Amino acid sequence: MNYIPDRITAEPGRSRDTFAGAELDVPTWPVEPGRYRLVAAAACPWANRAIIVRNLLGLQDVISMGLAGPTHDVRSWTFDLDPGGVDPVLGYERLQQAYFARYPDYPRGITVPAMVDVESKAVVTNDFPWITHDFFFEWREHHRADAPDLWPAECREEMEEVMRRIFTEVNNGVYRCGFAGSQKAYDDAYDRLWTAMDWLEERLTHRRYLMGESITEADVRLFTTLVRFDAVYHGHFKCNRNKITEMPALWGYARDLYQTPGFGETIDFEQIKAHYYVVHEDINPTGIIPKGPDTSVWTTPHGRDSL
């Protein structure tokens, strides 16, 4: 999928960047507190990243947030969680309206997260890796005083390699399993996923976080898949070699993050399950939403403090 590549930067103009192997020459918008609204959905792992990073950096007072409901039709995510089904800032029933406000014939999927210009009510960007990248690098003047260093310079090159593997093999890997159109495609996807999961289990056995002692963007990106794994991907996407709760390092790590301020409060397991089991009619034509698993286990001691 192609995304709207515009960025919101501290120095507006046109930006030429290399990030994750991509060279971009894109228009930029100025960083201005109160100007933009992050439209996200608690159900969506890609949007969940942006919600978490906004929390960790303390940007709640400078970037407002609207949350779409967990289910959507072919047209768009909708604001059915808000009174009257209307976003109170944008006045929209559908996120699609923000896309059409800028591109009347927008031909691609209406995705979250999206940054929307409040005054014009038009979408600015839905390029999700850049949204969280720029929350850190471009909105620094507005971070809370004790905000974590999500992109530490001393390990940034390795971190980008780790994130690239997480994205291709895990974040996308579960979808590759779930939407495989043949047995061979599924078998190949399954093997790739579990090769990466075993690599992560080994990596996290002797280090608390992916890059060492501190939380980085890499941890945010992995967490949003791990927290959905047992509730959705294990059964719904047939990623069923084992559950996260059966992998000691990954399970302890996932709980550690869940119990860290900024992470767990963004998770709504009922919305997550409703999204996958209702929206994916081709995979789950009955629309039945499982009652389990027990989510209280996420608050049990993780024992990771000594690493």
Binding residues for glutathione: 77
Q: Give buried/exposed letters for 110-146 (b at 16+ CB in 10 A, else e).
A: bbbbbbbbeeebbbbbbbbbbbbbbbbebbeebbeee
Give dist(CA 179, CA 248) in Å, integer: 28
Give dist(CA 133, CA 123) in Å, integer: 18
Give dist(CA 262, CA 55) in Å, integer: 5
Q: Is the peptide bond before 83 cis (omega within 30 degrees of 0)?
A: no
**How many other CB atoms are found less than 10 A from the CB of residue 281?**
10
Q: Which amino acid is at 48?
A: N
**How many other CB atoms are found less than 10 A from the CB of residue 271?**
18
Residue 44 annotated to the active site: yes
User: Catalytic one among 44, 92, 177, 233?
Assistant: 44
- Are 35 and 9 a contacting pair, CB within 8 Å? no
- How far is Cα of residue 82 from the mean position of the Cα atoms in its chain? 22
User: Catalytic one among 3, 106, 155, 175?
Assistant: 175
Residue 175 annotated to the active site: yes
Structure tokens that stand for 121 in this block? 């009510």
Angle, vertex CA 253, rays to CA 219 and CA 142, nearest 5: 35
| Tokens 């009510």 sit on residue | 121
Spell out the residues 6+ positions from residue 215 whose beta carbon is closer than 8 angstroms to its own. Answer: 56, 148, 150, 209, 257, 260
Structure tokens that stand for 180 in this block? 């495989």
Query: Which residues are catalytically annotated?
Result: 44, 175
